[in-house]
Amino acid sequence: MASLIQDRLTTDQDLLQMQEGTLMRKVRSKSWKKPRYFRLQNDGMTVWHARQARGSEKPTFSISDVETVRKGHDSELLRSLADEFPLEQGFTIVFHGRRPNLDLIANSVKEAQNWMRGLQLLVDLVTSMDQKERLDQWLSDLFQRGDKNQDGRMTFEEVRRLLRLMNVEMDQEYAFGLFQEADMSNSGTLEGEEFVYFYQALTKRTEVHEMFEQFSDDGQKLTLLEFVDFLREEQKERERASDLALELIDRYEPSESGKLRHVLSLDGFLSYLCSKDGDIFNPACLPIYQDMTQPLTHYFISSSHNTYLVGDQLCGQSSVEGYIRALKRGCRCVEVDVWDGPNGEPIVYHGHTLTSRILFKDVVATVKQYAFQASEYPLILSLENHCTWEQQLTMVRHLTEILDDQLLSSTLDGLLPTQLPSPEQLKGKILVKGKKLGTLEDDLEDEEEVTEPQLERQQGSELPLGSPSEPVTLELSHLNKDKKKKSRSVLCPALSALVVYLKSVSFRSFTHSKENYHFYEISSFSETKAKSLVKEAGNEFVQHNAWQLSRVYPSGLRTDSSNYNPQELWNVGCQMVAMNMQTAGLEMDICDGLFRQNSGCGYVLKPDFLRDIQSSFNPEKPLSPFKAQTLLVQVISGQQLPKVNNTKERSIVDPLVRVEIYGIRPDTTCQETNYVENNGFNPYWGQTLCFRVLVPELAMLRFVVQDYDWKSRNDFIGQYTLPWTCMKQGETVLGSLANTLALAASLMLLSCPFPGYRHIHLLSKDGISIHPASIFVYICIREMEELQPGESEF
């Protein structure tokens, strides 16, 4: 049962040093620096810490929780301590999700390098694991947890304790029978391979075994033809079934002889069902699959509110880490609130609050570094400028010098456009959204009038602008004339010139916007105002968003950085629905779910009825030609669900599955299964849920697993959210409502599994994989026939 990691633990010098342990300083702030003894455990997957060597150790983190390791020079906090410690002795452990970074300072450069190299090696090994290797590592971790005295073998008492840790409530006599069957050495204990055998007996998937035998003539294997029939008839792969069957056998059949004979064993069949090829998310929607050549107004754009905050809106910490996290998750619109700072340097914070301050130039440098790591499509800087004239000039200098040619400071071809450019045309560019003096037309007219001598005089001015691009230098000709103007609350022309396609304008009414504004202007709405407009003038809002960009931001009452449901605003085509990305929960699950498609690039093409300036669509009153669809979900079983409370060893979950749909108001609904008592390891539900949806193009589907609690609110176990249009379903068929209800009834009555089998791999509250936790479902979508005049729906 040795894993890749265990092989390295005995040979790699860095890992050997980490297993001995190292005394380092843990740093939380400039004033909080405490010595702690850190040690890599023998499993190679967890790091524990103590207050001193040989002290009482506590778990600190798992390697699977680590995203990357940064050098001290790249740490915002450690840089602030450069006068006290050499930066080469510091490093930062960055975790997946929203967990705060861990900043450490070693006593020598050599020790710091040992830990940085060792940790990165382990992270790379975990990241590169395939499905089988991940399962092997998980089993190895399980064995380490169960082997309480760490002697490399497990007694039956240790196995019983492990079963409780694994969320299994099992009859003692039955468990002992499995134990004895696995104890092939008759030693009264289980060693490596014996434990694997015990686990396999424990995790036998009866529902999958029955399905396998249903399609296998001899019950031992699926021949190529049998597997093709399964893919064609049950998974609805249709014409590509033959080629796909060969690919899948080669990919998932564990035995070489099986691959040569083109047959699939039960283990291979189960591996396929649990793989990305058996996932509910359609793999065709994972890469860039949408048209990226349409105007920006035609896309939903992943957007962040007060990006610099990593906590609440009143006293929270401001940090460049907020920008790093948002940009690494594909966010394409980040917000920067800029105010006058000391020593002539603009600062970023939530004005008139107790939030901490960071330098504007540090934000710009961070944006430069991370802007296009997750997505090559354009990034929007939403500037909220509160600076005096002088510090606005400093802002311009930082933007132009740091961002250089990434900064878009003129129209793409120097000509007046008739619509916004596309994400494809703006690849690799950073756009500034903010207030602007005059119009784009004025800018382009002024450019034509500028002569070469005038440009030379402007470039030789005394203003501290470095070497800005042409549109910036153009505006500087006005500066000397206006030097004596009041410095506060006056927009500097040089900063104004950096706003090209995204001029901020106040919203008065849809009629006023249509008559007075241009396509390159953008209005911002509070969530309260936007929701009110959705109800009062839904169709006008849809038409408005077909030609002009809209940005929506959370209510000022959300001081705890909570979020609103973005779905209501997407329903009318609002492109930039800004979220407090530091706060996990339902709303961010929906946001993450929408932008999971299209390579996670932060741009999702809106449905055609939200891109038409003459659209008749109103989410409050949806009418034809929208074709309703019915979704049938048979929730079959669950696998290896985590414990809700790891501190209570004897506590075992009572899981249920809740299926939620978010879309237009009539489509938003939920249903749930019954709960299964005391079984988080392999619960079986076998229940079918039926949903009717009027506008599937806007629907989001969320699967939530909860631990039933009759005394209070159910506890969250895991979730997965995806767009309706990205579901991999068994089949889409045409049928009447009566036929659909009859089919649903038949599914509820029958106990055997059904076609369109998909696994849903669950995520934590933070959106991180909780492998190997999953639920097994059958999916079928039916298009409803249009009702005849006088015919009732029910």
Cα(311)–Cα(306) distance, integer angstroms: 10
Which residues does 620 contact at the CB level (< 8 Å), separation at least 6? 534, 535, 538, 664, 665
How many CA atoms lie less than 13 Å away from 79 in the CB half-sphere? 10
Q: What is the distance in angstroms between the CA of the first residue and the CA of the last residue of the chain?
A: 58
Q: 298, 350, 759, 761: which is the annotated catalytic residue?
A: 350
> Residues 181, 201: contact at Cβ < 8 Å?
yes
Give, to the nearest 10 degrees, the angle between helix 266-274 and helix 206-215: 120
Which residues does 491 contact at the CB level (< 8 Å), separation at least 6? 385, 392, 435, 436, 437
% helix, strand, coil for the chain, step of 5: 35, 25, 40
Phi, psi angle pair for 336, to nearest 5°: -135, 110
How many CA atoms lie less than 13 Å away from 308 in the CB half-sphere? 30
Phi, psi angle pair for 637, to nearest 5°: -155, 170
**Active-site residue, 386 included:** no
> Residues 184, 197: contact at Cβ < 8 Å?
yes
Sequence letter at residue 32? W
> H helices then E strands: how many in the chain?
26, 29
**Pair type for strands 576-579 and 299-304:** parallel
Look-up of token digits 């060893």: 649
SS3 108: coil
> Residues 659, 702: contact at Cβ < 8 Å?
yes
> Residues 737, 784: contact at Cβ < 8 Å?
yes
- CB atoms inside a 10 Å sphere around CB 270: 19
Q: Which two tokens stand for residue 580?
A: 């407090």
Cα(446)–Cα(497) distance, integer angstroms: 11
- CB atoms inside a 10 Å sphere around CB 561: 20
**Active-site residue, 305 included:** yes
Q: 49, 298, 305, 761: which is the annotated catalytic residue?
A: 305
Q: Which two tokens stand for residue 21?
A: 């342990």
Give the catalytic positions in this structure.
Answer: 305, 350
